[in-house]
Structure 1
Amino acid sequence: MADDAKPVKVLIAGDVEGNFDDLFKRVGAVNDSQAGPFDLCVCVGRFFGGGVEDDAGSADGGASTAKPNNDELRPYVDGTSAAPMPTYFVDALPRGREFVKGETSAAQKGADSIEVAPNVRWLCRPGVHDLHGLRVAVLPGKYNKMAFEDASAMAASAAAAEGEFTMDDVSKLRASAFRDAAPPGGANGGENADAIDLFLTTSWPKGVELRSRDATTPDVVAASAAGSAVVADLARDLQPRYHACGAAVGCPSKVFYAREPYKNQRAMHVTRFLALAPVRNDAKHKWLHALGLVPARVMPPSSLRVQPPDATRSPYDAPPPPPGSMAAKGAALAAQDAAFDHASLRWEEPKAKRARLAANIDRRPLQGDTDKTVYVRNLGCWFCLSNEKDTHLVASIASESFVSMDKAGVVADHCQIVPIEHAPSFAAMAPSAAEEMWRYLDALRKCFAAGGGGDPPSGGEDGTDNGRDVVVFERHLALRSKGGNHCHVNVVPVPRARSGKAKKIFEQAAKKLNFEWCSIPKPESAMDAQAALLEHVGDGEYYAVHLPDGSILVRKIGRGEPHWMSFGREVLGHLLGCPERTSWQECLETEERETARAAAMKASFEKFDIMQE
């Protein structure tokens, strides 16, 4: 090791998005300048152009309708033009599918990279690559929470096709980072041989701007909020010297951001974070950055451990939330939800089930027809009124059902229709209860259509009304925990400008998870709806979505077959343009705010309430 070790000169570019001529022209010019020559160029973010993804994550809540535009790459593929230096990129699918044919089989055989043109390669394998002597950690693809947390083979196949990294990809990267590290004094270098020189991702790490002393712009805050907690965890654990990513996926903020260096928890060296703007961006934000990096493995330890005076604490080293705070309550509820074993505790012997449910039945009057009001004394159920949990959220109570605000709604007036009896599903409940819930649903449709609701949008300046349609979803899983599933039908108001996309976006989400919906025409009554559901799913588990036109999409869930628990929230969050609200733990509020939401909904719903008939 020597202090005068030769640095590896690297150019880092942001999202290319098919602008290959602009990329290589600029890279070539910089390479020929006094700053050059450079050893390699790495591209973070979306490399290929066009909008061929058929996903649910576009900014307007629907799929992009743009046509693919990668014609500028063809001269580099056929040799008519040449990349000025070795160029690597991390995001290929689904836009670049035609240029990476056979990528699946190559990746399965362990190929680190795939050549798409002379001097242009896709780093297709999650792991640590040796690029010109640098240890470069790569996580190919973008983050999609739904795909990431579904460990099934079906979901993994869909994620690979759509260019989304999975939990298995993250595990492979971690294993590679620590397996490939040489022991101190080993053959591959000295005591710094395990340091990651450069970490490349498409997605921003969530919360990267935290603890920064520099002024942080709203664009940076928005991009960070749209980032991935998974990428943040990797950055914290891998402790790279540099972490570079492209523009934030699903966020309109496309900016350059260079954070002050931050200290790591275990390593003595600091990490510097860079986010590059897209190539050819209208705002002229910086999209190309130059580095001269001496590989850590040949650096003297004293040089690697230099702490710059502006270094901050790690943004990912967050303190625990104060006791009693909403964040602490959210963490506690999340822990309870994690303990609620939805997947493996669904099945129970019928005799034991009947005995357990019989022991939990208690009849007490509350309101309406006492002969029809049944309470289940199950202290673990959030939806049983007899437990007196969150009753401040209730907006209306009838004889056999009630309307309650969702505790952490996707929007402020996201509400639920819940049977008072601890019934497992809409399809299986008593006809009288189903009919009453159907009347509630019709009343809510009328309320939102008339511009009502607890938090209605303002009308447009062009005189357009502020009426909304509704999307309704129900998840029935035969859970054994907490007395079994207690039916709750979610009702989410959607602006009319977006509601027409609901069917398409749910179909796209199903396609990504490799399943198909069965379609039920608009039922005329609750009895018709129950009959149609039973015809499709029998007495089994199901997921149902009631679209704005009244038709129903239903999926029968086979025994032991997984289904994403937050599926409805995830899809509606993208449809409504608020993907940051798809996690209920992130949407918790104070009881005072919850009470105010319920009061606003009661006042708006009063003239539509079935109890006023």
Structure 2
Amino acid sequence: MDSKTLRILIAGDVGGNYDKLLKRVNTVNKKAGPFDMLVCVGRFFGSASPGADLRALRSGIHSFPLSTYVLSPSEEFNSGSSGEEICANLINLGSMGVYKTGGGLKIAYCGRVANESEVKAFIGSVLETERGIDILLTCHWPENVMEFASDPDKMNRLDSQLCSRVVSCVARALKPRYHFAALQNIFFERLPYRNHRILAETETNVSRFFGLATCASSEKWLYAFNIVPMISCDPKTLRVQPLDVTENPFLNEKYSWGNLAMRESKAEVSKQYFYDFGGRDGSSINRKGRKSDNKRLNDSDSSTPVKRHVQTPCWFCLSSPEVAKHLVITVGENIYLALAKGGLVPGHVIILPIEHFRALYVRGENENLIEEVETMKVALLKYFASINMSCVFFERNYKSNHSQLHAVPIPLDNKDANCEEIITRIQDSGVSNFKVLSKFADLKQIIGDGSFYLFIELPDGRRVFGKLPPFERGVDDSHILMLMNGVLADILDVQDRLDWRKCTESVEEETEKRDRFVTAFAPFDPFA
């Protein structure tokens, strides 16, 4: 097994059944272990006298075989005991915070949901200081988690009093890879749900929710799994969407963490961060840690309710049944060239990755793909020069699910004046702080891992770049979507072709135009 893989046991409500818990954990640890940690979620003490249970545990009457962390409703523990080692290997996590292991696993936990202002402060702090959460622990189930889950039997058994809108807000905001909850005495493994809106947001990790039964139940109350911390995972692997993934059940506006009660005071809930600086043998030291310098966009998440979307094949993946293959001009190893549907002018073409890439110029993308793109750009420039034309390249990474690098021919006459007009119009648009990049600027370093952007390469070799604002549902963003088309339509005096949807032709007409371009481009085609 990979040395970065952690083996974890999660238990539901123990309810004072310590002997049963320890017997089962010892058995599983011997047969399938060793495990790195045990986490207990939900009511931990017996209902009669939590205080007596706590005193007994502190006396050392029970021996815990591995590091055990407890998240229970706030009334079971004194709020001042966060991070306290109750006895050897048994630690109270506290009401809310983030626990980090030495291997980089990040566990967010929220046991107290009554005070919305505290929870809101907690969410804001986590989003500001952490880049993703591996595991979320809550005592209550999230409200509406059964949406899209198709399990009427479990739905009918749920106690709505033990489901929390606040927990739904936490889950939606933090986007954990795994989420465990208890209190319902039901075992439920939900289908994974996606944490992005298809075609509107960058793909991110899915979430998997598990409800665990009580220790005294005949249903499953102990769950074992392996996990590699996301800090050690390939980002592409994290973004993989399983075939059985569903829509996010928490997209309703009421589950936006921005709608939680406003903070009345600067409560110190965001300071409960615990770090494990020890090894994997259980000899860890728990102490409060400093916030990291990592920043994350504050997801105020003011989206409105949306209809459920059905994932459809991408229009531009070459293997997709939806791709307009009659527009394809030539195909390489990693990219293909296609005639633009409803193009601005004759010869308007698009360079597209064969496989699914959302944007060309982000860190970690296929270097061979970029190399082929540059080869195709050179070939297109040579072809257009042979017919007294030049070319403007641009890619808009905004509300586009598949990268599209447009190549729009413009006359060589007045090339310099056209370049200046494009720069002026773009910079005066107010959409972004567009900059002309230096000759040696590394576009991937500028863009980073997932920013929305508009990139333009002009006939005189200058490159213009600007980061685009995030989506705001319900806000008209047509000025962003049509920005480059609008500028070029004015320069080329083809305003009537601004909207490609109004300029489409029959398949026969489009095929004829494609064939003419294939013949003319053949001497320059790098893939011929």
TM-score (norm. length: structure 2): 0.44
